[in-house]
Homo-oligomer: A and B are copies of this chain.
Amino acid sequence: MVKKTITIVDVAEKAGVSKTTISRYLNGKYEFMSQESRERIAKVIEEMGYRPNNLARGLKSKRSRLIGVLVSDIGSPFSSILLKGIGDCCERYGYGVLITNSNDNPKKERDYILSMIDQRVEGLIINTTGQNDEFLQQVVKNGVPIVLADRPMEEHIFDTVRTADEAITMDVMRHLKERGFKKVGWFSQVVNNETRKLRSAAYREACHAIMSIDPQEYVLDDKDPKQVEDQIRSFIEANGKEKKAIYTGNGVATLHVVKALQRMKLRFPQDLGLCGFNNWDWTELVGGGITVVSQPSYRVGHECVKRIMARIHRNRHAKAKLIELECKLIIRSST
């Protein structure tokens, strides 16, 4: 037994005003009604338990009050915290959040973006695969603003919120140098997005600038534990008796390296220093704690929303802005 839905007309009738006035009330345009009407409407809405239909509102006004979010891997802690930041901030603006997960698949990225546009999201926050440059430009051209979260594009044509990975990498190297490490190897997965490219470049830059050593980069295959061990062995063999440290490109890389190290019965920092990106919960627990770069993921989400709201409500045609948030180095016993 589904009750007939209460519409703006029912409210208008009961309050003894026209539906226009109710609409004005709903949109906070109180200057167009008497104090008395305003109070009466409030009372009637409360009594009837009326809730406006956002589909109807959006259809007419072109404002769905929805933001679309596309993450590349909803399972990662980074995404969780990012989403939390986005959700909390959207709430303050009265916006809902439509969330999709591309699994780092460019085709899915396009499909999901289109289907979010079908829902008339007013803006998109995207943790992009980096393979849909032109497509995204087209989306913006069609009037849906985009903010890139965490992963920039090579060409800087979209609003972007990211973390200052370069600066913190300098700090990491400085720290490693202080602790007496002579060789530092970069361990990360294949470079298939801009973030990885920039982090690896930052590592190389820091090798020269801080430690005056040659960069040594090792590509990890997440799916192949043996391969990870092999890479670690290569690194060790290539550097003889020097004091060595591994610097990983992200939390997943850290995870695989730690697993490999455990299988190889190698301890850190005794046998090898270890540090990396992403301050995940467990990095504190493993082997007395791993030194990590902590990213302000929550704030990234926050800033994304603020930026998209500014674009929607203030200057739709402002030029692309880059927002960089500082990271923190958390030193633990692994280095």
Instruction: Say yes or no: B99 contacts A115, CB within 8 Å.
Output: no
Q: Interface majority SS on A: helix, strand, loop or mixed?
A: helix
Instruction: Say yes or no: A96 contacts B79, CB within 8 Å.
Output: no
Question: Taking the full assembly, how many copies of this chain does it contain?
Answer: 2
Task: Determine the chain B residues whose CB is within 8 A of the CB of A98 once the complex forms.
Answer: 66, 96-99
Interface residues of A in 63-107 (CB under 8 A from B): 64, 66, 74-77, 79-81, 83-84, 87-88, 96-101
Tell me how many residues of A have a C-beta within 8 Å of chain B.
51
Instruction: Say yes or no: A74 contacts B83, CB within 8 Å.
Output: yes
Task: Determine the chain B residues whose CB is within 8 A of the CB of A58 once the complex forms.
Answer: 55
Task: Determine the chain B residues whose CB is within 8 A of the CB of A79 once the complex forms.
Answer: 80
Given known A-B contacts A52-B118, A119-B55, A84 and B74 have beta carbons under 8 A apart? yes
A-B CB contact pairs (8 Å), 11 listed: A2-B143, A53-B118, A53-B120, A66-B98, A66-B119, A84-B101, A96-B100, A98-B99, A255-B281, A255-B282, A286-B286
A contact set with B: CB distance below 8 Å: 1-3, 51-56, 58-59, 64, 66, 74-77, 79-81, 83-84, 87-88, 96-101, 114-120, 141-143, 255, 258-259, 262, 280-282, 284-286, 288
12 further A-B pairs in the complex, CB-CB below 8 A; given A3-B142, A75-B77, A259-B284: A3-B143, A51-B114, A51-B117, A55-B55, A55-B59, A75-B84, A76-B80, A87-B99, A87-B100, A96-B100, A96-B116, A286-B286
